């Protein structure tokens, strides 16, 4: 391979930077009592947190009513923040099968809301999210929350369910770079 004759020639041979369109991801950490949500946007190489919160459902309400309220809540977040894609945490193996089934219902409602909005959905197992954020698939929730806060420059952490959702959104934004 020939070397360029000068620095200006070397610059001419370099690949010009490609303009990357902003990408907005809604991360969801589904639950039948609390569903965390977080919106992260990447513009170029910079990711920033747009908003985060928790959809809280009554523990005393029948499951069908909680699921309907969850659907309304997710649809409201989708309308308000207009993401390009949705990232949802996969169900993990649980010791309590009944709890896993109820969690599956909540996750299904979140998937339905995203599909009704015509948005692509990516799913990530909890261990992959932890590995993408902390470097270890066995990291504690608080460790994930602190690193999410640092990555997004948050002055205050929005709560564990919301920071989990932000971590899921960040994992989605970085999936191709991380080989996920």
User: Cβ neighbours of residue 179 under 8 Å, at least 6 residues apart?
Assistant: none
Catalytic residue among 59, 89, 140, 164: 89
- The pairing of strands 46-56 and 34-43 is antiparallel
Helix (H) or strand (E) holding 161: helix 160-173
Catalytic residue among 29, 80, 140, 164: 29
65 carries an active-site annotation: no
Query: For residue 72, how many other CB atoms are within 10 A of its CB?
Result: 13
- For residues 137 and 128, give the distance between their C-alpha atoms in angstroms, rounded to a whole number: 6
90 carries an active-site annotation: no
Identify the three-state secondary structure at position 27: strand
Catalytic residue among 68, 140, 161, 164: 161
- For residues 143 and 134, give the distance between their C-alpha atoms in angstroms, rounded to a whole number: 7
Catalytically active residues are 29, 89, 161
């Amino acid at each position: 391979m020939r070397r360029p004759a000068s620095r200006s020639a070397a610059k001419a041979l370099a690949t010009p930077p490609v303009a990357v369109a902003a990408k907005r991801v809604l991360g969801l950490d589904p639950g039948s009592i609390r569903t965390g949500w977080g919106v992260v946007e990447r513009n170029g190489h910079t990711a920033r947190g747009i908003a985060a919160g928790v959809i809280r459902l009554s523990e005393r309400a029948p499951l069908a009513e909680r699921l309907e309220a969850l659907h309304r809540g997710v649809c409201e977040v989708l309308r308000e923040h207009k993401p390009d894609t949705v990232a949802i945490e996969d169900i993990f193996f649980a010791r309590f099968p009944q709890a896993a089934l109820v969690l599956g219902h909540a996750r299904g409602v979140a998937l339905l809301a995203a599909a009704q909005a015509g948005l692509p959905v990516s799913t990530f197992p909890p261990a992959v999210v932890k590995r993408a954020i902390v470097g270890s698939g066995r990291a504690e929730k608080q460790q994930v929350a602190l690193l999410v806060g640092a990555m997004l420059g948050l002055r205050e952490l929005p709560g564990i369910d919301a920071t989990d959702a932000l971590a899921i959104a960040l994992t989605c934004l970085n999936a191709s770079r991380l080989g996920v």
